[in-house]
Chain A
């Protein structure tokens, strides 16, 4: 299957700082990248959809100024959590669908804001 590489796998940051999460498609061109958030023992919640070269589409209730998404190339999408607070601590996962069929996920990033 297609490979989506996500970094970092784990990050701890101080409250008020910003954190950038990278997601790369290694063997295909990711025109679209999906960003999810997952709380413990819960399913994935779609936060936003990023399209290469255009603005991301955010789901209802997701603050676009807090979760900045950039998709500048066909192989890289980034999610920046700005002015992070403890309530932003969560597991963030990116995903892409090479052929609009099955989706492949990154390894996930566990963010802890202290």
Chain B
């Protein structure tokens, strides 16, 4: 069983829709949670970072962490074609990150 599970998709939504991305994990020691966006042939770009259960909002992005269920989510509101990318969840208990497989999202104009 992988430490971090993420549905690879692909996920295709119309412009303006809400994109919902999820990851589950097995290591209860994870305490730092991140979401990254990666465009083709580019390095991952940090979108959201949190270290506690609950919600964190930044513009159109909302990150949710539920440590009791070992489940994290990222919501993208009013999705735009420029949001088309691969989204990676990442988490850690110390310095080493564990990544999900990444979900490829396409927002159709």
Contact = CB atoms under 8 A, between A and B. Distances in A.
A46 to B, nearest CB: 7
Interface of B: 8, 32, 34, 36, 41-46, 49, 51, 88, 90, 94-97, 99-102, 104
20 contacts: A6-B43, A34-B97, A41-B102, A42-B101, A43-B88, A43-B100, A43-B102, A44-B88, A44-B99, A46-B97, A91-B41, A93-B44, A97-B95, A103-B46, A103-B90, A104-B46, A105-B44, A105-B45, A105-B46, A108-B42
Interface of A: 1, 4, 6, 32, 34, 41-44, 46, 49, 91, 93, 95, 97, 100-108, 110
Given A44-B88, A104-B46, A110 B41 contact: yes
Contacts, number: 54
A6, A102, A108, most chain B CB atoms within 10 A: A102
A26 to B, nearest CB: 14
Nearest to B10: A41
Nearest to B98: A46
A1 B46 contact: yes
Contacts of B90: 103
Nearest to A94: B43
A82 to B, nearest CB: 23
